[in-house]
Amino acid sequence: MTQPSMSRVPWPGAAYPLGATYDGAGTNFALFSEAAEKVELCLIDATGGQARIELEEVDGYVWHGYMPDIQPGQLYGYRVHGPYDPASGQRCDPSKLLLDPYGKAFVGDIDASDTIFSYDLNDPGQRHEEDSLSHTMTSVVVNPYFDWGADRQPHRPYHETVIYEAHVRGMTIQHPQVPPEQRGTYAGLAHPAVIEHLQTLGVTAIELMPVHQFVQDRALSERGLRNYWGYNSIGFLAPEAAYASSTAPGGCVAEFKSMVKALHAAGIEVILDVVYNHTAEGNHLGPTLSFRGIDNAAYYRLTDDNPMYYMDYTGTGNSLNVRHPHTLQLIMDSLRYWVTEMHVDGFRFDLASALARELHDVDKLSAFFDLVQQDPTVSQVKLIAEPWDVGQGGYQVGNFPPLWTEWNGKYRDTVRDFWRGEPATLGELASRLTGSSDLYQDDGRWPLASINFVTAHDGFTLADLVSYNEKHNEANGENNNDGENYNRSWNCGAEGGTDDPGIVELRARQVRNFLATLLLSQGVPMISHGDELGRTQKGNNNAYCQDSPLAWVEWAMAEQNADLVAFTARTAKIRRDHPVFRRRRFFAGKPIGTGGQLGDIGWFTPSGTEMTLDDWDSGFGRALAVFLNGNGIAERDQRGQQVVDDSFLLCLNGHEEDLDFTTPDGEYAKMWVVELDTTSPNGEGLDSHGDPTAVIAGKTVTVAPRSLLLLRKTE
């Protein structure tokens, strides 16, 4: 790394691109600030010394300069001179070394020192002007060059997608086949043993919890805890440095790229969970780390009547100001960077409703969504919204623009209610199983707009969903007051661990019911990491601060729960092999073809009669059968060929006792065979001879209490 010199004078350089851009010879630095009166580039040496270099060139409020001999690995930051007047929304503070909003890598840690605050913590009315350099992170000039070789983004269509939500550290920190130095890192996630497991499950896309550089919360650190989930971003173009096995400054960038390259080679897409709704600087009492000291009023949404304070649609203290063109530019530049330079395949937007708040109400036609729609790069990758925030009117499931897919919270709630035995769920269950047309059909979207999930990082794991009625978050140090109180969970008869064989068997069956329902529903399924292993958090439904075995994937369970892994893989294979479970269009519910008698879908009571309005509205029904017509898909593949498939009968029994289902006969079928049975640990439905159980059409088949049975038409 070239050591900085106090005597350097920068060349004029260019106002674009923003950030530190190495061109093979030197580095261009560019920083936006409309509030600044003077900007100093600080070059940091290996001993922590700094050279302050004034950027005298300004174009369109972008301060810039070119340093002809600055190489990758150089540490740097900014000091912005300008008004400090919180009452008017201005918070420039040159005593704080500021991170580059366009920084592509960071090193160091932000500690609990008071020096990172611009005010005296004991007297908020007084300034605190001690230099923060030795207590904060620094930005790093990175080498943009990387040998991608033959890397190609898989461009997996949504109807072939199975998403696996995972945490980089938690996924691999306990994996016995990953070398110790790679556990918990990008390199660990790219390890062949991890990739092989994903392939076994039929996963086509891994959705990584936040990997943008984030900051540890002071309050958590004081309690001996850490921000494990990472929803506390400070750098929107930088990979989280702590997830890299490489210790070289900026080494996280090449390691992240290598991970993507390895996953792509295995046919697995990489989707990032991104947090563009707020930053780690918190509310008006938060630290000055970057955006606040550069141009507070441009980057943050301030209250109209008193700009000392921040609008908070996220519950974290601040909200990014998506009404400002430079903040929108930062978000769009970040998205393009991760696609073009890091080769990621899509994004899941945390609290996406907050990005739609141009005024107060959520507006799906806001400037952000217009920009995404028009962008030739970003518009072509997977865009997934978490369609809510904590503000008024923030729950917007079904209301995002046609280009977007959404985490379908209504799917989660309905499926949970059905399998725990809540009444009056059959009608809504039918809608959720078939792609939620009530949410997505009116605006021109298809079943693929629904990202279906039963569990995610936020809430119970699947094993805990069937083992706890109440949350048990005592380890978080908040007196169990944090986390969701209404979980739609059922402990199957005992709270937490039990040796009762009946309860243990029921819980295992319920887990299989949830996985089978998820993978056999129309839409895009998302599995939460470790659910296929029986991962537990001991009833903690808000493990955001648990960077510990409580939240990590326990790979030792893979052998113990090998049948559950096999069940998940078997069910995913059924989905992959049969397009009738992953239709691109909604069911019509009408007869197909000229003179056709069968519709593309049919709904039956256990007695074999077609469902009537009274059956749907009974309020106590907990069982139904769904006929899926493989000849009624009415779609063509990429070669223009008509898509046809086997036909299936999906029987769901949410009752506490056996039910005999009469199988459709006549024009429906002559013979059925059991394809999947959730009473079986690995899903196989075999007869006494070890062959798939055959059922003569028109005869009854017994479906066990709280179980799912899938029959395939054989003739």
pLDDT of residue 4: 47
Tokens read off for 490: 């059922």
CA angle 582, 584, 587 (to 5 degrees): 85
Q: CA–CA separation, 320 vs 497, rounded Å? A: 43
Cis upstream peptide for 664 (omega within 30°): no
pLDDT of residue 267: 98
Per DSSP, the residues of 284-319 read TTS--SSHHHHHHHHHB-B-SS-TTSB--SSSSS--
Q: Is 81 helix (H, G, I), strand (E, B) or coil?
A: strand
Q: CA–CA separation, 74 vs 142, rounded Å? A: 8
Residue 385: strand pairing partners: 349, 406
Do the bridges between strand 382-385 and strand 405-407 make them parallel or antiparallel, or are there none, so unpaired?
parallel
Backbone φ/ψ region at 523: left (φ over 0), alpha (ψ -120 to 50), beta: left
Task: Kindly state the average pLDDT of the residues 163-192.
Answer: 98
Residues 6+ apart with CB under 8 A from 235: 99, 101, 103, 106, 212, 213, 290
Given a cut of 70, whether residue 359 has pLDDT beyond it is no
Tokens read off for 327: 């903040």
Catalytic residue among 165, 207, 312, 386: 386
Q: CA–CA separation, 144 vs 141, rounded Å? A: 9
- pLDDT tens-digit readout, 612-633: 988 888 777 899 999 999 999 9
610 in active site = no
- pLDDT tens-digit readout, 5-46: 444 789 999 999 999 999 999 999 999 999 999 999 999 998
Q: CA–CA separation, 660 vs 600, rounded Å? A: 24
Per DSSP, the residues of 648-672 read EEEEEE-SSS-EEEEPP-TTS-SEE
pLDDT of residue 364: 58
Do the bridges between strand 659-662 and strand 700-703 make them parallel or antiparallel, or are there none, so unpaired?
antiparallel
pLDDT of residue 365: 52
pLDDT of residue 358: 59
Number of H helices, E strands in the chain: 16, 31
pTM confidence score = 0.96
Q: How high is the mean pLDDT of the chain? A: 94
525, 519 Cβ separation under 8 angstroms:
yes
Report residue 309's pLDDT band, with 50, 70 and 90 as the boundaries. very high
Q: CA–CA separation, 260 vs 227, rounded Å? A: 24
pLDDT of residue 5: 45
Catalytic residue among 207, 281, 295, 350: 350
pLDDT of residue 362: 59
Per DSSP, the residues of 557-612 read HHHHTHHHHHHHHHHHHHHHH-GGGS-SS----SB-STT---BSEEEE-TTSPBP-
CA-based R_g, the chain, Å: 27
715, 671 Cβ separation under 8 angstroms:
yes
Q: Is 391 helix (H, G, I), strand (E, B) or coil?
A: coil
- pLDDT tens-digit readout, 506-562: 999 999 999 999 999 999 999 999 999 999 999 999 999 999 999 999 999 999 999
Note the Cα 196 to chain centre separation in Å.
Answer: 21
Tokens read off for 567: 């069940």
- pLDDT tens-digit readout, 127-157: 999 999 999 999 999 999 999 999 999 999 9
pLDDT of residue 133: 96
Torsion of CA 525, 546, 413, 572, to 10 degrees: 20
Q: CA–CA separation, 28 vs 648, rounded Å? A: 61
Q: CA–CA separation, 377 vs 381, rounded Å? A: 7
Residues 6+ apart with CB under 8 A from 98: 77, 78, 79, 80, 288, 289, 290, 293, 294
Q: CA–CA separation, 567 vs 565, rounded Å? A: 5
Q: CA–CA separation, 320 vs 312, rounded Å? A: 9
Residues 6+ apart with CB under 8 A from 615: 426, 605, 621
419: closest CA among 710, 709, 711, 705?
705
Per DSSP, the residues of 438-472 read HHHTTTT--GGGEEE-S--SSS--HHHHTT-SS--
392: closest CA among 325, 454, 311?
311
Backbone φ/ψ region at 477: left (φ over 0), alpha (ψ -120 to 50), beta: left
Q: Which residue has the tokens 């290598």?
A: 258
Which element (helix H / strand E) includes 508?
A: helix 501-520
Tokens read off for 323: 């009404």
Q: CA–CA separation, 445 vs 380, rounded Å? A: 16
386 in active site = yes
37: closest CA among 79, 66, 2?
79
pLDDT of residue 688: 83
pLDDT of residue 429: 95
Q: CA–CA separation, 227 vs 167, rounded Å? A: 13
Q: How many CB atoms lie within 10 A of CB 106?
A: 27
Point out the least confidently predicted range of 417-431, 463-477, 591-605. 591-605
Q: CA–CA separation, 626 vs 524, rounded Å? A: 19
Do the bridges between strand 671-677 and strand 50-54 make them parallel or antiparallel, or are there none, so unpaired?
unpaired
SS (H, E, C) 138-158: EEECCCCCCCCCCCCCCCCCH
pLDDT of residue 363: 64
Q: CA–CA separation, 559 vs 354, rounded Å? A: 43
Which element (helix H / strand E) includes 187?
A: helix 186-189
- pLDDT tens-digit readout, 62-84: 999 999 999 999 999 999 999 99
625: closest CA among 662, 594, 676?
662
Q: CA–CA separation, 460 vs 469, rounded Å? A: 10
- pLDDT tens-digit readout, 657-674: 999 999 999 999 999 999
Q: Which residue has the tokens 């300034």?
A: 127
- pLDDT tens-digit readout, 89-104: 999 999 999 999 999 9
CA angle 569, 202, 564 (to 5 degrees): 25
Q: How many CB atoms lie within 10 A of CB 613?
A: 8
Given a cut of 80, whether residue 389 has pLDDT beyond it is no
CA angle 82, 86, 89 (to 5 degrees): 80
Amino acid at 237: L
Backbone CA torsion sign across 510, 514, 515, 517:
positive
